[in-house]
Amino acid sequence: MKRIGVRLAYFVRTAWRGLRASPVTSAVAVMTIGISLVLVGAFALLLQNMESLLDKLGGELHVTAYLEDGLTQGQQQEIAHLIGTVEGVESVSLITKEEAFERFRRGVGRGSALLEGLADNPLPASIEIALVASRRSASGMAMVVASLDGLDGIDDLASGQDWVEGYMRAVALLRGLGVGLGAILALATLLIVANTIRLAVFARRDELEILSLVGASHSFMQTPFLLEGILQGALGGGVALLLLFALFRVVLPGFEFGLELVLGGVSPRFFALGESLALVATGAGLGLFGSAAAVTGGWRT
Partner 1 sequence: MDERRDAAVRLFHVSKSYDAGSFALRDVSLEFARGEFVFLTGPSGAGKTTLLKLLFAAEQPSEGQIVVLGRNIARLGESAIPPLRRRIGVVFQDFKLLQSRTVEENVAMALAVVGTPRREARAKVFSILKQLGLQHRRYHHPLSLSGGEQQRVAIARALVNEPEILLADEPTGNLDPDLTVDIMDLIASTAIRGTTVVVATHELGIVGRYGKRTIRLDQGRITEDKKAVGVASGM
Q: Which stretch binds partner 1 (CB under 8 A): 3-11, 143-151, 165-173, 174-182?
A: 3-11
> What angle (nearest 5°) sits at the alpha carbon of residue 191, between those of residues 187 and 195?
170
Taking the CA atoms of residue 116, residue 119, residue 124 and residue 125 in that order, the dihedral angle to the nearest 10 degrees is 70
The 62-67 sheet, strands edge to edge: 89-95, 126-131, 62-67, 154-159
Q: Does 300 bind partner 1 (CB under 8 A)?
A: no
Residue 255 class from Cβ within 10 Å (0-12 exposed, 13-18 middle, 19+ buried)? exposed
**Residues sharing a CB contact under 8 Å with residue 66, sequence separation 6 or more, in sequence order:** 124, 125, 126, 154, 155, 156, 157, 158
Beta carbon nearer to partner 1, 82 or 211 = 211
Q: Does 211 bind partner 1 (CB under 8 A)?
A: yes
Beta carbon nearer to partner 1, 165 or 207 = 207
Q: Does 7 bind partner 1 (CB under 8 A)?
A: yes
Q: From the list 216, 243, 259, 262, which residue makes contact with partner 1 (rule: CB under 8 A)?
A: 216
C-alpha to C-alpha distance for 18 and 219, rounded to whole angstroms: 16
Q: Which stretch binds partner 1 (CB under 8 A): 42-50, 131-139, 194-202, 216-224?
A: 216-224
Q: Does 205 bind partner 1 (CB under 8 A)?
A: no
Q: With contact defined as beta carbons under 8 Å apart, do 70 and 269 qualify? A: no
Question: In a 3-state reduction of DSSP, which class is residue 67?
Answer: strand
Q: Does 188 bind partner 1 (CB under 8 A)?
A: no
Beta carbon nearer to partner 1, 12 or 168 = 12
Q: Does 12 bind partner 1 (CB under 8 A)?
A: no
Q: Does 217 bind partner 1 (CB under 8 A)?
A: yes
Beta carbon nearer to partner 1, 99 or 207 = 207
- Round the CA-based radius of gyration of the chain to a whole number and report it: 31
Beta carbon nearer to partner 1, 115 or 210 = 210
Residue numbers at the binding site for partner 1 (CB under 8 A): 2-3, 6-7, 9-10, 206-207, 209-218, 220, 301
